[in-house]
Each structure stands twice: as structure tokens, then as C-alpha cells.
């Protein structure tokens, strides 16, 4: 009787090996806004992902650096991939210029639009950034409708509903549009690490709600290190996560918002998307079309799999403080979602 056991083992190994090379390393990724402050480091991190076979850098020809220059630069890394740059002049439409760039893309990361200046809220950027996002999203709808779009365009709370509704109106899947709120998780993990003396790498605080001010709700109680923090310190830590973006905006003193940590967070999300498409499930928080609350868009844990988001997970257990904050989150988020829905109504 031991014989079949040995045979079963011998059979299982090659099957496992056979899967790896077929799926890995075959992805086409585009970074729209890839020559900007977030776009350049984000492109660097994605170029280093062994899953990426072709990386496209798209930006305006008047960007910080010409996108073809960023591509030439990244093309010298010791990686088995190709990097190409694409540009467009101000006033031109992405849909008229991005056919080659977007066709065949599995993932499009969009760190585009204007950043905040000190004193501005993310909402102040809506009109200008929504129009920029719309141009890119319409080009994706035409040339890579199956791709996952990771949006790093503020105000994420309104831009994602606006773009997802545009996708719906075109008969496309609104869950392909993902608001990247990963930086809130990264920050919460970092701050809990600093408070508890634990390694942030092993901390995972889910951050739910949205990506602006009070809509950012870190669920410290759902992480072991977070749950060990004194109750009296939680409100301050919560506000510290909510205000972290503003802290960077103020420290940069009119010269932009978070770029490096945002690129790090965007790449973390992007790599999880690619791992999922490869059949390796990954769970991350993201702001997406959702039915886990009574709001149509919400950030919670989602599972990335073979088709993109395969599950939007419920918010899970919350303590008294978090339950109270949850109501506050929904109150503010409701209006910000409506801004996006109104835009889609008028602009489709
Ligand atoms: C952030 O959280 O750092 C970004 O949303 C940029 C900003 O304006 O705060």
C-alpha cells in the first residue's frame, strides 16, 4: 500500500512546477502619469516586479521628465522586461493616442492629476482631476476593458464612483476600477509599530471607509499589536492616520503631496493585483463599488484573484469606538460619493 502514496507525491510535484512559469512574468502594466512625482518611483517599483514583462510609461510631453526618458532610464535595470514611453501634448485626448500603449494591459496604475497645496482639501481637486481621470479611463475602456485600473487620483472618494459609473454605463465591470487606499494601511501599520515597538512589517491594520479625513477609519482592534494599545491613545492615533497626508503636504510646503510612500503603497497594491491574476490570492484594503454597507462605494478588505477582485469582504468586528466612528465615516462619505455620481450623470 505505500506505493500509491509515493506515486501521488511524484505526480503532485511536476504539476506544481508546471503552473509557475506559465503564469508568472507575463504581465503588461501601464503607469499613466508615469513621469510624475508618484509615477516615477511607482514605475521603478513595478519595473522591478518579476511579473512585469512590459511596462508602459505614459504622461504628458511637458511632464517633469519626458516619459520616453523615464522609459529609457528604467530600461537599463537588470530585469527581463521591456519599458516603453508614450506621451501626449496638453489638450490632446488619451483615447486618440494610447491604443498601442494600453492594448493588452492587465493592470493600469493611474497616479495622475494635481496634488494638494497646504490649506487645500482633497475635494478642492475634484473638477480638474475628474476630467483628467475621465480621459484616461475612457481610453482604458476602449483599448483594455478587461484591465484592472488602480486609481491614485484625488479625491479618491469621489473620483472612483465617477469613473466606476462611467464604466457601468459602457457595460463594463465597475469593480475593475479600484481606489488605492493602501497608503492608509501602510501608515497605520507604521504608527502602530512605533507605538508598540513591534515590526510594522508584521502588523496589518485594516483601514476602511474612504481616503480623506474622517472617512479614513483604521480598525486597530483587528490587529494584534493595534489591539494591545491603551484605549486612551486610540483617538489620537486614529487622527494621526487621518491627517498623515496633510502632514506630508505641509512638510513639502507647496511642492506637492506624498510621492514616495504613495508609490510604495501603489506598488504594493499593484503587485497584489498581479499575484491574484496569476492565481495566488491576495487580500488588501481598497476603495471600490461595494455592498458591505448601505453606501455604494466603500473601502474594506478585498481579495484579488484570477479575474481581479473576486471578493469584497465585510468590515468585520468593531469595538465601541470604531462603531461610533463608522457612523461618522458614512455620514461624510455619502456626500463625497454623490459628487462622483453627479459627475458621471452629467459627463457620460
Ligand atoms: C495622501 O494621503 O498622501 C494623498 O492622498 C495625497 C494628499 O493630498 O494627502
For 160-182, what is each residue's pLDDT tens digit? 999 999 999 999 999 999 999 99
Q: Which three cell numbers stand for residue 278?
A: 496569476
For ligand 1, atom 8: residue with the closest CA: 116
Can you tell me which atom of ligand 1 is nearest the CA of 125? 8
With a pLDDT cut of 70, the percent of the chain lying above it is 93
pTM of the model: 0.93
For ligand 1, atom 2: residue with the closest CA: 245
- Residue 259 and residue 248 in contact, taking contact as beta carbons nearer than 8 Å: no
76 is catalytic: no
Pocket of ligand 1 (CB under 6 A): 116, 122, 154, 183, 245, 248-249, 257-258, 262
Question: Mean pLDDT throughout 270-293?
Answer: 96
pLDDT in tens, 68-87: 999 999 999 999 999 999 99
Sorted by sequence, the CB contacts under 8 Å of residue 224 that are 6+ apart come out as: none
When pLDDT is cut at 50, 70 and 90, the band that residue 41 belongs to is: very high
Sorted by sequence, the CB contacts under 8 Å of residue 222 that are 6+ apart come out as: 205, 206, 316, 317
Q: Quick one: pLDDT at residue 24?
A: 81
Residue 42 has pLDDT above 50, yes or no: yes
Q: Quick one: pLDDT at residue 348?
A: 81
Residue 6 has pLDDT above 70, yes or no: no
Can you tell me which atom of ligand 1 is nearest the CA of 258? 3
Q: What rounded mean pLDDT belongs to the chain?
A: 93
pLDDT in tens, 297-315: 999 999 999 999 999 999 9
Say how many Å lie between the CA of residue 122 and the centre of ligand 1: 8
Residue 289 has pLDDT above 50, yes or no: yes
Whole-number Cα distances in Å, 196 to 178, 186, 204, 243: 32, 15, 13, 20
For ligand 1, atom 9: residue with the closest CA: 245
Taking the C-alpha atoms of residue 270 and residue 320, their distance in angstroms, rounded to an integer, is 34
For ligand 1, atom 3: residue with the closest CA: 245
More confident site: 26 or 5: 26
Nearest to 228 by CA among 258, 207, 198: 198
Is ipTM beyond 0.90?
A: yes
Q: Quick one: pLDDT at residue 23?
A: 58
Amino acid at each position: 500500500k505505500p506505493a500509491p502514496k509515493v506515486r501521488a507525491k511524484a505526480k503532485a510535484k511536476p504539476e506544481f512546477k508546471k503552473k509557475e512559469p506559465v503564469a508568472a512574468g507575463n504581465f503588461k502594466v501601464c503607469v499613466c502619469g508615469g513621469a510624475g512625482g508618484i509615477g516615477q518611483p511607482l514605475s521603478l517599483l513595478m519595473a522591478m516586479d518579476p511579473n512585469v514583462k512590459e511596462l508602459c510609461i505614459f504622461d504628458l510631453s511637458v511632464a517633469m521628465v519626458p516619459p520616453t526618458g523615464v522609459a529609457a532610464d528604467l530600461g537599463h535595470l537588470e530585469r527581463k522586461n521591456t519599458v516603453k514611453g508614450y506621451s501626449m501634448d496638453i489638450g490632446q485626448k488619451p483615447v486618440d493616442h494610447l491604443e498601442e500603449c494600453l492594448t493588452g494591459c492587465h493592470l493600469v496604475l493611474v497616479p495622475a492629476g494635481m496634488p494638494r497645496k497646504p490649506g487645500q482639501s482633497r475635494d478642492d481637486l475634484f473638477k480638474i482631476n475628474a476630467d483628467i481621470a475621465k480621459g484616461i479611463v475612457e481610453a482604458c475602456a476602449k483599448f483594455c476593458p478587461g484591465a484592472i485600473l488602480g486609481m491614485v487620483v484625488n479625491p479618491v472618494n469621489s473620483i472612483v464612483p465617477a469613473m466606476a459609473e462611467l464604466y457601468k454605463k459602457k457595460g463594463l465591470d465597475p469593480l475593475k476600477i479600484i481606489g488605492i487606499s493602501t497608503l492608509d494601511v501602510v501608515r497605520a501599520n507604521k504608527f502602530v509599530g512605533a507605538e508598540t515597538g513591534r515590526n510594522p512589517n508584521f502588523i496589518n491594520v485594516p483601514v476602511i471607509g474612504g481616503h480623506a479625513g474622517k472617512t479614513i477609519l483604521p480598525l486597530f482592534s483587528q490587529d494584534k499589536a493595534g489591539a494591545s494599545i491603551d484605549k486612551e491613545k486610540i483617538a489620537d492615533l486614529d487622527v494621526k492616520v487621518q491627517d498623515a497626508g496633510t502632514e506630508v503636504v505641509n512638510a513639502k510646503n507647496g511642492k506637492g503631496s506624498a510621492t514616495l510612500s504613495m508609490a510604495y503603497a501603489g506598488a504594493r497594491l499593484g503587485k497584489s493585483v498581479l499575484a491574484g491574476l496569476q492565481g495566488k490570492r491576495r487580500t488588501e484594503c481598497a476603495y471600490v463599488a461595494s455592498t458591505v454597507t448601505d453606501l455604494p462605494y466603500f473601502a474594506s478588505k478585498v481579495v484579488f484573484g484570477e479575474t481581479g477582485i473576486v471578493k469584497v469582504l465585510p468590515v468585520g468586528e468593531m469595538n465601541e469606538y470604531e462603531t461610533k466612528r463608522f457612523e461618522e465615516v458614512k455620514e461624510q462619505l455619502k456626500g463625497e460619493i454623490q459628487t462622483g455620481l453627479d459627475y458621471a450623470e452629467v459627463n457620460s
